[in-house]
Structure 1
Amino acid sequence: MDESADNRPPLLVLVGPTAVGKTALSLQLAKALNAEIISGDSMQVYRRMDIGTAKLMPVDREGIPHHLIDICEPEYPFSVSEFQSLCTEKISEIHSRGRLPFIVGGTGLYVESVCYGFQFQDIGADESFRGEMRTFAQEHGAQALHDRLQGVDSVSANKLHPNDEGRVIRALEVFHLTGKPLSELQDQSRGDDKKSPYRLCIIGLTMDRADLYSRIEQRVDEMLALGLVDEVRSLLREGVPRDAVSMRGLGYKEIVASLAGEMSDAEAVDILKRDTRHFAKRQLSWFRHMKALEWVDVGNDAKNSTLFAEICAIIAGKFQIDIEYI
């Protein structure tokens, strides 16, 4: 298809591992491109979970509209299919205003489900099976549940941490319902850029692994200094169950365990830093298989003017007929 004849609406996407510098760069780009930002983060949907999710607060958004942040209570088990539906609606609304929709986030499955229209709703659900898997995890542990997934869908298992019980169970449920691994079904949905409902421009940020890990450790220290422990304590006091999907997220489950006396504060911090490094590695692995993704090495300075010009040039080249966005 000749790109000049491509009438699909444009969609800009910025992905990358945690702490790589997506937030600061996204504000620069949104201003330059007349864009509105849609959060592609599975945890920022939850209200009052601000510090542990590295949420950009309204006062710091520099007048740029941000969507799909603070849209549900921490007790609610928000899902990728809900994200896909809500995000698709927001993209249409933003286009109707003559602005560029701009997804920014690090939850690969969420972002890719929108980019390539994954058909989650067609798979269905089996609440009885989910209950059996939750019981199995309680009796045998998260690792044993993860091992079951490894046996039927090693690709999905390698992307998911054993503590990510909800997504591990969903992957098992998909295999249970369809007889096919979730990873295989996702591959069938992905296709290339021409199969997307949008003209995609996907920018992926990366940097030297040692520098990234240093930034991750610094971010964890900053979260603690900002009051992460008090944030978690407040959520528990208001009655958010520790087994809620939200409370099993990085930065929350570790602090919950330390507040429950199951580990020392120092152990909780060490585990949080370690697991966040592992999470960043899995994010990079996920993004590497995304088609039509343009990698940009941001070094240790995502605000560099040369870097900004490089990214704008990539976007201008991709959205040729929408050069007015630049």
Structure 2
Amino acid sequence: MKPAKLKRHLETKHPDYVKKDRAFFERKGEDYRQQQQRMVNVTSVSAKAQRASYLVAQRIAKARKPHTIAEELLLPAAVDLCEVMVGKDAAAKLRSVPLSNDTIRRRIEDMSADIKSQLLERLRGSKFAVQLDESTDVSGSAQLIALVRYPREGRIQEDFLFCQELTGRATGEEIFNVIDMFMETGNVSWENCIAICTDGAAAMTGRKSGVVARAKERNPMMIATDCMLHRQVLASKSLSPELQSVLSTVVSVVNHIKCKPLQSRLFGQLCREMGAGQDTLLFHSEVRWLSRGKVLQRVYKLRSELCHRTPQSDISLWR
């Protein structure tokens, strides 16, 4: 600012300081700078507290617990434990660890972004294969899930790539645009993608507008395969009459027990009393990625317990 304006401000706003010398204003400036430094020291968080906050956020994310559990339960419990076992001075240090709801959310977002950047960095420098699956969740939204496999340190590693919602129609073009946008944003070349695995749906394997066809336009050398689990489901639809009869009986028995909560509780109590390794049956569903073999395996393991809960006409099936 101009000296004339500074002088006018001093005379009009601070008339008591007009006759003060220069040393007085220098002391005022030094006091102001020290006050700023004290505020920084008070509000800053130590490196150990920051690291502890990230570790707690990591455990909350792995356990899939709400973010508020850190401030409402974990921190008070840790303070009580430390105060009893170590002392009040050590417990006071724990209170400086930032574990609020928003802090835990930011920590998880930071770790997620770091993991994503590390994965994309590996994919940029190596060949990889992608597995895709599009399914509808309980809210009716179409979710596209992608897994990736790539060589690392002499072995094949599998990681979760992304899960994104399809806002429009779940067509081959829409699905490919989501994948292509992710690859472009992550600066990952399609030339490094040597294989793609899908569920065999028309939107995935269509000859003209399917995801596989669009991906092969970017990399003609790409290998396309169908998921083995979906092949088993397709093969199980053409079972022989004998096997189909067994599967139908198994499904009816499982549904009879699982359809009512009381039946499920009584069956679980019976399994625990008989010392079975499992106490629940798997619900059979027509969802394509659910294996019927899992249902049959669980029923076979609990065949002795099922003899006590199924009608007498069906007992011969388990024996």
TM-score under structure 1 length normalisation? 0.23
